[in-house]
């Protein structure tokens, strides 16, 4: 974003980069007094894991058996796995692993895969149940898109019975394209694919 102003002693218009854009790029995007979206850091790992455990249990407790949820969380959110993801992300110019803070507490996170010919997978996006319906997920998604201007399309796989996830994708411009059966940790799941095409950005 640019601010335009007239120099006090000259007539020409001077353009300067606003402090808002600098803040967004270096510190994160502060959308309101309580909400801050910023790149994930290594010291966020415990907060990310807490959000993952709580959201997976609240979302899937009536869909998946308890042992499957526990096994998935152990593998997908192992400390070493998150350390690797964040370290790799920190080395990139366009950040793809973001967290959402509400009054200083991590309440959500989202991550995109490295794009392949402009197509990227939204590998995870979770918001604590008590902070849902505050548009935090929408802001996280939009900030991931903003920080990755070369991405032309995003897709996500969602459990077919995950009504909250399905509603989120449909209300944020994703469309259903296909479904597939997937076996994970010896458990059979039915996944639905949603795709969002990104408008050309300048």
Q: What is the mean pLDDT of residues 144-151?
A: 95
| Cα distance between residue 179 and residue 200, in whole Å | 27
Q: Is the dihedral of CA 178, 183, 184, 188 positive or negative?
A: positive
Distance set, CA 127 to CA 1, 19, 49, 120, 157 (Å): 29, 29, 12, 20, 17
Sorted by where each starts, the structural domains of the chain and their CATH numbers stand as 1-30 (no CATH), 31-197 (3.40.630.30)
| Cα distance between residue 184 and residue 85, in whole Å | 21
pLDDT at residue 191 is higher than 60? yes
Of 113, 97, 167, the closest CA to residue 138 belongs to 167
| Cα distance between residue 96 and residue 85, in whole Å | 10
Of 120, 116, 106, 129, the closest CA to residue 48 belongs to 106
Full-model pTM: 0.83
User: Confidence class of residue 34 from pLDDT cuts 50, 70 and 90?
Assistant: confident
pLDDT at 86: 98
| Cα distance between residue 67 and residue 47, in whole Å | 22
Q: What is the mean pLDDT of residues 58-66?
A: 95
pLDDT at 32: 66
Q: What is the DSSP letter of 185?
A: T
Instruction: Give the burial class of 162: count Cβ atoms within 10 A of its Cβ; 0-12 exposed, 13-18 middle, 19 or more buried.
Output: middle
pLDDT at 27: 56
The pLDDT tens digits of the residues spanning 109-133 come to: 999 999 999 999 999 999 999 999 9
């Amino acid at each position: 974003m640019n601010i335009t102003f007239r120099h006090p002693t000259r007539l020409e218009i001077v353009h300067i980069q606003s402090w808002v854009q600098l803040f967004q790029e270096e510190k994160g995007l502060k959308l309101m007094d309580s909400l801050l979206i910023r790149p994930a850091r290594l010291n966020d790992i415990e907060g990310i894991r807490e959000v993952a455990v709580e959201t997976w249990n609240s979302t899937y407790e009536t869909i998946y058996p308890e042992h499957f949820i526990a096994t998935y969380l152990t593998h997908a959110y192992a400390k070493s796995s998150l350390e690797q993801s964040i370290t790799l992300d920190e080395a990139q110019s366009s950040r793809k692993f973001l967290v959402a803070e509400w009054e200083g507490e991590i309440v959500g996170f989202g991550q995109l895969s490295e794009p392949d010919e402009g197509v990227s997978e939204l590998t995870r996006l979770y918001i604590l149940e008590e902070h849902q319906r505050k548009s935090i997920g929408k802001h996280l998604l939009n900030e991931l898109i903003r920080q990755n201007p070369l991405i032309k399309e995003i897709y996500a796989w969602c459990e077919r019975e995950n009504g909250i996830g399905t509603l989120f994708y449909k209300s944020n411009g994703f469309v259903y394209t296909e479904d597939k059966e997937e076996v994970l940790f010896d458990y059979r799941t039915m996944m639905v694919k949603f795709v969002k095409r990104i408008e050309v950005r300048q």
